[in-house]
């Protein structure tokens, strides 16, 4: 309940408690507050137990924390049963491969599957063959400047 209260905050609360209630009444106030918190917890637990018994035996594993949407989604997605095929989708999505393809495109190299289709060579040899080819565009090379008579394309929808 008080997991996010630090030691400095506890000292500040104690000082405020002493100033507000006085040193002689403070133990009684703390005792009353702890008794009140204990009764609230007991009431909450009994209400949860009553709901579980009213729902029946099919809901014996029901947890109230599952009503939180984040917890529910996390439990459904990370659980062992995979009815939607999310595990296959997660495994088929390879971010490293896609980043490598983008890097190769920016550096002017062809990706391994594209070279494989052209040359019949697979793997690292395909990438080496692609880098050595003269047909690969050099994206880092400065482009020619347009002449003054060239106008930029006109897009009527954009204006």
pTM of the model: 0.39
| Residue tagged 């930029």 (tokens) | 152
CB 76 within 8 A of CB 84: no
| Residue tagged 């637990």 (tokens) | 45
pLDDT tens-digit readout, 57-74: 887 777 777 778 888 777
User: What are the domain boundaries of the chain?
Assistant: 7-89, 94-132
C-alpha triplet 76, 78, 83: angle, nearest 5°: 55
Q: In this predicted model, which residue has the larger pLDDT, 159 or 38? A: 38
pLDDT tens-digit readout, 77-97: 766 555 566 667 767 777 778
Reported confidence tier of residue 130, pLDDT bands at 50, 70, 90: very low
Neighbours of 130 (CB within 10 A): 22
């Amino acid at each position: 309940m008080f997991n996010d209260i630090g030691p400095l905050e506890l000292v500040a609360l104690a000082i405020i408690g002493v100033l507000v209630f006085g040193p002689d009444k403070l133990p009684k106030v703390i005792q009353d507050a702890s008794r009140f918190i204990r009764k609230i917890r007991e009431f909450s637990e009994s209400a949860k137990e009553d709901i579980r018994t009213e729902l029946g035996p099919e809901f014996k594993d029901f947890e109230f924390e599952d009503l939180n949407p984040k917890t529910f989604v996390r439990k459904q997605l990370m659980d062992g049963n995979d009815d939607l095929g999310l595990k296959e989708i997660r495994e088929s999505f390879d971010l490293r491969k896609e980043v490598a393809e983008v890097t190769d495109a920016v550096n002017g190299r062809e990706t391994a599957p594209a070279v494989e289709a052209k040359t019949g060579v697979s793997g690292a040899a395909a990438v080496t063959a692609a880098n050595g080819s003269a047909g690969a565009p050099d994206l880092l090379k400065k482009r020619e400047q347009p002449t003054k008579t060239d106008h930029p394309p006109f897009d009527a929808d954009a204006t």
